[in-house]
Amino acid sequence: MLRLYFAAFLALFLFLGTSPSSGTPQQSIAIWYVVNKSSDKDYDYLEKIFPESLALSISNVSPFVVNRPDFIEDELYNKKASLEKKCSPSDVREIAKKIKTDFFVYGEFVPVKNNISAKKNNIKTTLRIYSRKTDTFFTFTETVVITAEIFPFVDKITSAIINYVSEDRYIDRVIPEGRKLAFITGISDVEIHELYLSFMRAGYKVSFVQNSSVNSRINDKSIMSFFHIATKNNSYNSAVIEADCYSPTPKDCYANEEDDSLKRLYASAGDVDCLVIIGFDKKRESAWVRGIDLKNRNLIWIEREITGSSIYEISNKMIMRMQTPMPDPFADKKLGTD
């Protein structure tokens, strides 16, 4: 049954889809508005405070040139152009090129209330990072309690942004040994057993859902159908796909279908913690990774490129990185305050 659901999930993806160096001052990040999507005007003040605080936070702990909304508006005015606070991916793509920024950050938030914390200001914030170099959008979501002190939340967002733009990497949380993993990859039967062995030796449990009959449907070309991926809250999309997702009648936004497939896959394999999708190059000297938490059906791990001389070496680097949290850009400052 598990393999049937796995095959169905795989078929959906195959049907759907046919690094800046840190420490480089020339790299620039444009911070746009984070829009209040709710009808509660009491939260409108965050539209101004949040991007200003975020820009300041990034400037304090990184070498990037950071441009705030007022700077962007002035630049656009001088170029006889404009941008609405609530903007589309197509608009962002055009404006990023016009103001010559490497990265463009924007998004929205909505207050969330529940029975447990009805009296607390829970804010669900969705941020999108557009990279002009790769022409991609990375979307991630954070839900936190906003108190009188907004900076802990801003610092958490800052850390995610800096790590992503500096290392082409995002990991929501580490995936420790002992977890059970399922894999999708385009390598051969012999190679996939080498991959499995590396993870098993490191203390992970492996679900052998990608057997020979399933594996025969994937190769180095078709695995690229998974390179861009959308889950419930987080996604990594090409600019073209992101634009279609945003349209009133989306044609190529498959988050709902993918989410449903992940739900069925988890229901049939509830003991699998994480689905790991790996695309190797033909020489097996580099690989990209997408990790999905099957329980929450969310994209939690992105690696744009891990290099090595063999599948064995690359697999061990993957293991090291999946066990390593994102570096804390505020670590030096925290040590300085002790």
**124 Cβ contact list (under 8 Å, min separation 6):** 109, 110, 111, 112, 141, 142, 143
Of the ranges 37-46, 53-62, 69-78, 111-120, which one carries the lowest mean pLDDT score? 111-120
41-62 confidence digits (pLDDT tens):
988 988 988 999 999 999 999 9
Q: Does residue 22 carry a pLDDT above 50? A: no
Q: Express as a percent the part of the chain with pLDDT over 70.
A: 77
Tell me the residue type at 159.
S
The pLDDT value recorded for residue 85 is 93
Q: Does residue 137 carry a pLDDT above 90? A: yes
Q: Which domains does the chain have, with CATH numbers?
A: 2-18+173-322 (no CATH), 28-167 (3.40.50.10610)
The pLDDT value recorded for residue 212 is 47
Average pLDDT of the residues in 233-257: 68
DSSP 326: P
Confidence of residue 4 (pLDDT cuts 50, 70, 90): low
Residue 246 CB coordination number (10 Å): 17
Rounded (10°) angle between helices 189-201 and 311-322: 40
Q: Does residue 228 carry a pLDDT above 80? A: yes
CA dist 96 and 316 (Å) reads 37
277-329 confidence digits (pLDDT tens):
999 999 999 999 999 998 888 899 999 999 999 999 999 999 999 999 888 88
CA dist 153 and 121 (Å) reads 12
Helix (H, G, I), strand (E, B) or coil at 85: coil
Q: Does residue 189 carry a pLDDT above 90? A: no
Name the one residue in this structure whose structure tokens are 């929501």. 172
CA dist 203 and 181 (Å) reads 11
- Of 131, 220, 221, 127, nearest to 168 by C-alpha is 131
**The total number of residues written for the chain in this structure:** 338
The pLDDT value recorded for residue 17 is 46
Please give the structure tokens belonging to residue 86. Answer: 């609530």
**256 Cβ contact list (under 8 Å, min separation 6):** none
User: 136-145 and 235-238 as β-strands: parallel, antiparallel, unpaired?
Assistant: antiparallel
Average pLDDT of the residues in 6-27: 52
